[in-house]
Amino acid sequence: MKELVERIRLDGVHVGGGIVKVDSFLNHQVDPALMERMAKELHRQFITAGVDKVTHVVTAEASGIAIALTTAAQYAAKLIFARKGQSRVMTGTYYVSESVSRTRGTTSELMIDRRFLGAEDHVLIVDDFLATGSTLNALASLVSESGAGLVGVGCVIEKPAEGGREALSHIRVPILSLARINFSGNAMAVY
């Protein structure tokens, strides 16, 4: 997606260690108009790939919520974000899986309330980044545990050198990204 690539080149900051800061438009301050255009493009690409029946879009809190919500709207589907910790209001039973955060270097339990996903559902996973694949694998595990059908995985930005796509190779669904970033020293190539 050319507009996204240009926005990353203009506003993205490589902070070192293969981490790019895109908080001015994607995951801290959010550009709603750009989110809508990205969601429409993800929807178009998934429709082209045959992903036309989606009942739920799943992401992890918090950075993926904006793009997942706007993508869910394209499908008239519901959004579920996996919580990263249990609060006092979480009194039900949950599907649980572990994920390692690439930016924080910590392990989190991702949780989805069992009431919200079942065997009759068709789930699209959407997140902001595909790096190591840890979060997306954890989300796919939650979907599998629920008995729902996983129909696709989409992300805004992929970092191919980190091997996330390969880590997801056991998942036999379309995996799409809108932009890719590679790093060489302090240089960042976006395409």
Q: How far is CA 28 from CA 33, 54, 93, 127, 184, in A?
A: 15, 27, 30, 14, 26
Quote the longest CA-to-CA distance of the chain: 47
Q: Write out the DSSP string of 128-169.
A: EEESSSHHHHHHHHHHHHHTPEEEEEEEEEE-GGG-HHHHTT
Stretch 128-143: mean pLDDT: 97
DSSP 11-31: H-EEEETTEEE-TTTTSSS--
Q: What is the pLDDT of residue 22?
A: 96
Contact yes or no for 172/151 (Cβ under 8 A): no
Assigned architecture for domain 32-180: 3-Layer(aba) Sandwich (3.40)
> What predicted TM-score, i.e. pTM, was given to this entire model?
0.94
What's the pLDDT score for residue 149?
A: 98
pLDDT at residue 88, as a whole number: 60
Name the average pLDDT for the chain.
94
Q: How far apart are CA 139 and CA 82, in angstroms?
A: 8
Name the helix (H) or strand (E) containing 45.
Answer: helix 32-48
70 CB-contact burial (10 Å; exposed 0-12 / middle 13-18 / buried 19+): buried
Spell out where 22-143 has E strands: 56-60, 78-82, 94-100, 107-113, 122-130
Residue 150 has pLDDT above 70, yes or no: yes
- Which range among 25-29, 88-92, 119-123, 139-143 shows the weakest confidence by mean pLDDT? 88-92
pLDDT in tens, 16-75: 888 999 999 998 999 999 999 999 999 999 999 999 999 999 999 989 999 999 999 999
C-alpha to C-alpha distance for 36 and 142, rounded to whole angstroms: 26
Residues 6+ apart with CB under 8 A from 5: 179, 190, 191
